[in-house]
Amino acid sequence: MGIEAGTPRNAAAPSARLAGKVALVFGAGSSGPGWSNGKAVAVTFARAGARVVCIDLDPAAAEETVSIIRHDDGSATAASCDVTNSDAVRAVVEDAVAAHGRIDILHNNVGHATMGGPVELDEAAWRRSLDLNLTSCFLTCKHVLPHMLAQRSGSIVNISSVAAVRYTGYPYAAYYAAKAAVNHFTVGLALQYAREGIRANAIMPGMMNTPLIFRQIAGQYADADEMVRARDAACPMGRMGTAWDVANAALFLASDEAAYITGVALPVDGGLIARAGS
């Protein structure tokens, strides 16, 4: 598959920034046409010189991301994995270490917004949402951290959400709970492993225009056009962000330029949290 039409060339990602590093990106595919956060992160990491393992539940989505990276003469391989299955995560991690000898960057991008409050959600949906958004981070860290500890270096970036710290207007109780937990899980990682050369940070995207919102959020509006208008209007900048905004933040946090930054939950939200607190 050739490079996707309209692929941005990110001048902020010179090839030296991640040269020689091996990055595992969980959730590197896209749930629909266009650029998901994970897909943009994987491509950005590769353009910055990393060897990227693109991991997704959908093998075709992972392969599409790899195709884009290879079109850019980057280095990438694809893997399929259910991030809620510990054995599957372990196998992917072991394969990556066998192929590359190390893991320098772990990027956790898997997430799902299940609508419903405590009354509407059944217990299985609640647990599934926690597993996808939170347990997935626990499992990838469980299997990657021993390798980072052995090499006494590594950077972990977990994708959280502004929903971790504020009500966004959507009735997704499990998502609020899970993303808040991701933030504090990240802080715990950062402090526990700070003296081991391992950093951990989170990114909190705000109102983003990615394929996921058309699958998981659009049902809260009359139609997709109304959703886009409403979400654009809700942002202080007057527009939603893009996957590339998240990717640029992830690149910085994963790189040695952020060598003295750990335990941070970074909003990438066009001022959404700042306005809520004013």
pLDDT digits (tens, 9 = 90+) for 38-59: 999 999 999 999 999 999 999 9
Helices 37-47 and 243-254: angle between axes, nearest 10 degrees: 50
Cα 61 from Cα 264, distance rounded (Å) = 30
pLDDT of residue 8: 55
Helices 59-71 and 37-47: angle between axes, nearest 10 degrees: 30
Digit-by-digit pLDDT tens for the chain (278 residues) are 334 434 554 444 456 899 999 999 999 998 778 899 999 999 999 999 999 999 999 999 999 999 999 999 999 999 999 999 999 999 999 999 999 999 999 999 999 999 999 999 999 999 999 999 999 999 999 999 999 999 999 999 999 999 999 999 889 999 999 999 999 999 999 999 999 999 999 999 999 898 777 888 878 888 888 889 989 999 999 999 999 999 999 999 999 999 999 999 999 999 999 986 54
pLDDT in tens, 156-184: 999 999 999 999 988 999 999 999 999 99
User: Residue 273's closest CA among 124, 120, 117, 167?
Assistant: 167
- Sorted by sequence, the CB contacts under 8 Å of residue 273 that are 6+ apart come out as 162, 165, 166, 204, 206, 267
Let me know the angle formed at the C-alpha of 61 by 55 and 63, rounded to the nearest 5 degrees: 75
pLDDT of residue 5: 39
Query: Hey, what CATH class is 15-208+242-276 in?
Result: alpha beta
What are the residue boundaries of the structural domains of the chain, listed by start?
15-208+242-276
Q: What token pair was written down for 188?
A: 């715990």
Q: What token pair was written down for 244?
A: 């590339």
Q: Where are the alpha helices (DSSP H) in 52-162?
A: 59-71, 86-100, 123-130, 136-151
pLDDT of residue 212: 78
Catalytic residue among 170, 172, 175, 176: 175
Specify the 3-state DSSP secondary structure of 49.
Answer: coil
Clarify whether 175 is annotated catalytic. Answer: yes
pLDDT of residue 277: 59
Is residue 28 within 8 A of residue 55, CB to CB? The reply is yes
| pTM, to two decimals | 0.91
What CA dihedral angle connects 184, 154, 92 and 251, to 10 degrees? 80
Helices 173-192 and 136-151: angle between axes, nearest 10 degrees: 10
